[in-house]
Amino acid sequence: MARLLLRSLLFSPRTPLHFRPTPASSLQFTPSPLALIPWSCSLSSSRPSCSPRGLTSSSSSPRASYTTRPILPRRRAALRRKQERRMRQPELDVSICIEEELPDHPQIQSIAETLRKDVPDAMKVAFESLKDPKYQTRDKSIKNVNKFQKIELSLLLCDDAFIRKLNKEWRDEDNVTDVLSMSQHIPGLDIPILLLGDLVISVETAARQAEERGHTLLDEIRILMVHGLLHLLGFDHEISCEAEKEMVIEEERVLSSLGWREKGLIQSAYDSLQDEINFSDLSQEIKMATTVKDNKPKLSHILFHIDGEKKINY
Please report whether residue 272 resides in a domain.
Answer: no
CA distances for 19 relative to 62, 64, 67, 142, angstroms? 9, 7, 12, 56
The confidence score (pLDDT) of residue 261 equals 78
290 burial via Cβ count (<10 Å: 0-12, 13-18, 19+): exposed
Q: Are residues 106 and 48 in the same domain?
A: no
Residues 135/237, Cβ–Cβ less than 8 Å: no
Per-residue pLDDT reduced to its tens digit, 227-247: 999 999 999 999 999 999 999
Is this structure's pTM higher than 0.85? no
Per-residue pLDDT reduced to its tens digit, 237-296: 999 999 999 999 999 999 999 999 777 888 877 777 776 676 555 556 555 555 555 555
243/237 Cα distance (integer angstroms): 5
Q: What range defines the domain where residue 250 resides? A: 87-264
Q: Are residues 50 and 134 in the same domain?
A: no
Please report whether residue 303 resides in a domain.
Answer: no
The confidence score (pLDDT) of residue 291 equals 53
Mean residue pLDDT of the chain comes to 77
Compute the C-alpha angle 266/230/155, nearest 5°: 105
Please report whether residue 127 resides in a domain.
Answer: yes
221/213 Cα distance (integer angstroms): 13
Q: Are residues 135 and 221 in the same domain?
A: yes
Please report whether residue 289 resides in a domain.
Answer: no
Greater confidence (178 vs 6) lies with 178
Q: Are residues 111 and 166 in the same domain?
A: yes
CATH of the domain at 213: 3.40.390.30
Q: Are residues 49 and 92 in the same domain?
A: no
DSSP letter, residue 146: G
Quick check: 46 pLDDT over 60?
A: no
Q: Are residues 46 and 93 in the same domain?
A: no
* Domain tally, the chain: 2
Q: Are residues 109 and 244 in the same domain?
A: yes
